[in-house]
Amino acid sequence: MLVALSLVHSCLLVTVPSSPLIAIGLWWNANTVSHNFVHLPFFHSSALNRLYSLYLTLLLSIPHSIWRQRHLQHHIGREGSVRWTRAELAETGMIAALWFGLVWADPRFFATEYLPGYLTGLLLCHLHGHFEHARGMTTSHYGRIYNIVFFNDGYHVEHHRRSSVHWTMLPTHPDSSAFRSPWPPVLRWVESILDSLEQLVLRSRWLQCYVVSCHERAFRALVPRAPAIRRVTIVGGGLFPRTALVLQRVLPTASLTIVDGNARNLEVARKFVKGPIDFRHESYRLPPALNSEETDLVVIPLAFIGDRHRIYRDPPAPRVLVHDWIWRRRPEGVIVSWFLLKRLNLVTR
């Protein structure tokens, strides 16, 4: 199937060439067909594998032998230099000949379509690889659509721990302790924007008042549906602790615990809140580090690093308030802010 799809890729490039197709094709193929071929060559015959490697080299304009060397070094945690052999030199020469032929045949197409598409594809590949390993940790994404289109590439933590496992088997070995993201790798910059927005709120008194006000409206709409709340765990409540500030007003008699894996964030949060709040420097994992029987309500942030679907499916406390994107509606939920594209959903056992 992967070989057939790579042939479709080349047919599209020949029949309907364009910058978007070149960019998307390079990005998709490098992270599916070529990636799987690096780890598990498709053919029993070494000659056929060598021939297919040359085909991928011309299709992507990336020397496949060099790509294989660098990727396998990445898997053992060593970023070394490329070892040039006759194979690497031959593949590089083939790409040079291909590019010379394209310039000779249609220099305008090469300059305005092929080269921009090729460079954009490389940029997408760089973003993809960067965010799969950002912050010094490998991250998985379990979205169904992405893993269908990219052949379970989202199971990236699982792939790193068992790189010789066939892509069809990766979902059978899920890692419950894996860091995960709700975003596919190439869109994971959205999480960086969330961090930047948090930093912006810290510098603006007006933004602090705005986020507290819109969150308070949402909490007051949902908390009356969850009575008898005496103990609350706020996950990721560091930096500007809007949830703690709101709950001090909405639930003045409840004891609040803020759990954050970043000690610096907790120090910043301490400056904004007053009263007896328990600050815990630890990562919130599922099953929760805190005994769920000791917590009446858990509040999950939008930037939660973990399995959000599992929280909806199997709430870690009798009541859970989940910050989510505005389009992820639940039966019991309210919009926090259209401007922030954010909503708050109530989940109960």
Residue 268, C-beta contacts closer than 8 angstroms, at least 6 positions apart: 202, 238, 239, 240
Using CA atoms, how far apart are residues 248 and 232, in angstroms rounded to an integer?
11
Q: Please give the CATH architecture assigned to the domain spanning 191-348.
A: 3-Layer(aba) Sandwich (3.40)
**pLDDT tens, position by position, 269-325:** 888 888 888 888 887 876 665 444 578 899 998 878 777 888 888 888 888 999 998
**pLDDT tens, position by position, 198-216:** 777 878 888 888 888 999 9
Confidence class of residue 77 from pLDDT cuts 50, 70 and 90?
confident
Using CA atoms, how far apart are residues 211 and 174, in angstroms rounded to an integer?
37
What angle do the packed helices 86-105 and 46-60 form, to 10 degrees?
A: 40
Strands 319-325 and 342-348: antiparallel
Using CA atoms, how far apart are residues 264 and 107, in angstroms rounded to an integer?
54
What's 140's DSSP letter?
E
pLDDT score for 154: 92
Average pLDDT over residues 152-161: 92
Domain ranges of the chain: 2-132, 191-348
Residue 115, number of CB atoms within 10 A of its CB: 16
- Tokens at 57, concatenated: 């080299």
Q: Is the pTM of this model over 0.75?
A: no
Share of the chain above pLDDT 90, in %: 44
- Tokens at 268, concatenated: 């910043």
Using CA atoms, how far apart are residues 103 and 111, in angstroms rounded to an integer?
8
